[in-house]
């Protein structure tokens, strides 16, 4: 009787929350291989779950095509947004290092919890000393608005600016990471976990290619995010602790926006975010449109080089073009 009651309750809940009449039978697991199947499921209500992903692309296994070969790249996927269809997937639910793709989640949390006009003040923690880390060069006491910080975060991928944002909104890094992980759970990205706001390699910090699609898709709901990721060059002035002005000009790390790499002719790259560390390899997530204006999201994780990254991303974009219309 208990299981029967749970089943009836789950169906009623689905009808109330989604307007749908579909419930799927599923054995309970705490960490399902498919992120969206974890959402709203507990040990007490484990016999069914609502169609959480009704309007999302879903993928549980590899989806191959003769037109795309990502070689040694660890993971990658192509998502048709209008049709809620995954066109290609390689290891979409494998947990990998995200590098600076982390900053998409940082931006999403910032946009959700704070105003772009918020003034941020740098603490001593912005002085990151890890070799090779991308930095703006912030000093303690430097000040800028969240709007300025988000532009520099997403366009230039500055790790010290990620710390500035996290502390300015969360009060400290740990509290902000709690918000990141809560947001991941709320949007179904349950196979990911964040330990910092910038993506420098740390134990327990990981994502999946599919979860990056969920995170990026949610961030695209914010007009400011759309504007920033499509901006090739950004110039602004912020204030040092002594009140003097500091001019800064940054250029996008996405080579499509810089014009040094061209995508397939029929496809328009709107914008995206890169990420690179020794552990994560070369990563890229893109928002693009085909010749008919239909939107797609494509992601590649852990390519062995920058050349391989863009060569393989172009294969995904070519496949997008072939599936347009």
Residue 61: per-residue pLDDT: 92
**Biggest distance spanned by C-alpha atoms of the chain:** 71
Residue by residue, what is the 3-state secondary structure of 170-223?
HCCHHHHHHHHHHHHHHCCCCCCECCCCCCCCCCCCEECHHHHHHHHHHHCCCH
pLDDT per 10-residue tile (average), the chain, 325 residues: 40 38 38 54 40 75 92 97 96 98 98 98 97 96 98 98 98 98 97 98 98 98 98 98 96 97 95 98 98 96 98 96 77
C-alpha to C-alpha distance for 288 and 82, rounded to whole angstroms: 12
C-alpha to C-alpha distance for 112 and 224, rounded to whole angstroms: 11
Residue 47: per-residue pLDDT: 38
- Topology of domain 99-251 in CATH is Beta-lactamase (3.40.710)
C-alpha to C-alpha distance for 12 and 225, rounded to whole angstroms: 36
Residue 36: per-residue pLDDT: 53
Residue 54: per-residue pLDDT: 65
Instruction: Spell out the domain ranges in the chain.
Output: 2-50, 75-95+255-322, 99-251
Strand extents, DSSP E, the chain: 23-25, 48-50, 75-80, 85-90, 119-121, 143-145, 233-239, 245-251, 268-277, 281-289, 295-303
Residue 16: per-residue pLDDT: 38
**pLDDT tens per residue across span 50-68:** 445 568 999 989 999 989 9
CA dihedral 62, 63, 69, 71 (to 10 degrees): 0
Residue 323: per-residue pLDDT: 81
């Amino acid at each position: 009787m208990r299981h029967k009651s749970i089943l009836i309750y789950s169906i009623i809940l689905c009808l109330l929350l989604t307007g749908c009449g579909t419930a799927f039978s599923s054995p309970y697991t705490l960490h399902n291989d498919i992120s969206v199947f974890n959402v709203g499921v507990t040990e007490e209500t484990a016999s069914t779950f609502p169609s959480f992903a009704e309007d999302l692309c879903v993928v549980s296994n590899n989806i191959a095509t003769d037109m795309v070969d990502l070689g040694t790249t660890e993971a990658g996927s192509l998502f048709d947004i209008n049709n809620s269809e995954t066109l290609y997937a390689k290891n979409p639910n494998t947990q990998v290092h995200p590098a600076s793709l982390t900053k998409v989640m940082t931006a999403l949390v910032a946009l959700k919890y704070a105003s772009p006009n918020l003034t941020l003040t740098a603490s001593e923690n912005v002085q990151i000393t890890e070799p090779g880390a991308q930095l703006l060069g912030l000093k303690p006491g430097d000040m800028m608005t969240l709007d300025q910080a988000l532009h520099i975060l997403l366009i230039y991928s500055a790790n010290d600016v990620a710390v500035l944002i996290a502390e300015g909104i969360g009060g400290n890094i740990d509290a902000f990471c709690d918000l990141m992980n809560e947001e991941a759970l709320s949007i179904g990205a349950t196979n990911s976990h964040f330990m910092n706001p910038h993506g420098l390699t740390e134990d327990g910090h990981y994502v999946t290619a599919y979860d990056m699609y969920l995170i990026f898709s949610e961030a695209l709901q914010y007009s400011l995010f759309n504007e920033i990721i499509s901006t090739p060059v950004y110039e602004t002035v912020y204030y040092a602790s002594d009140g003097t002005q500091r001019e800064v000009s940054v250029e996008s790390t996405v080579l499509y926006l810089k014009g040094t790499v061209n995508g397939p002719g029929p496809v328009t790259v709107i914008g995206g975010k890169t990420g690179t560390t020794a552990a994560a390899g070369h990563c890229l997530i893109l928002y693009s449109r085909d010749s008919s204006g239909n939107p797609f999201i494509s992601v590649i994780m852990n390519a062995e080089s920058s050349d391989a990254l863009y060569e393989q991303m172009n294969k995904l974009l070519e496949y997008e073009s072939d599936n347009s219309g």
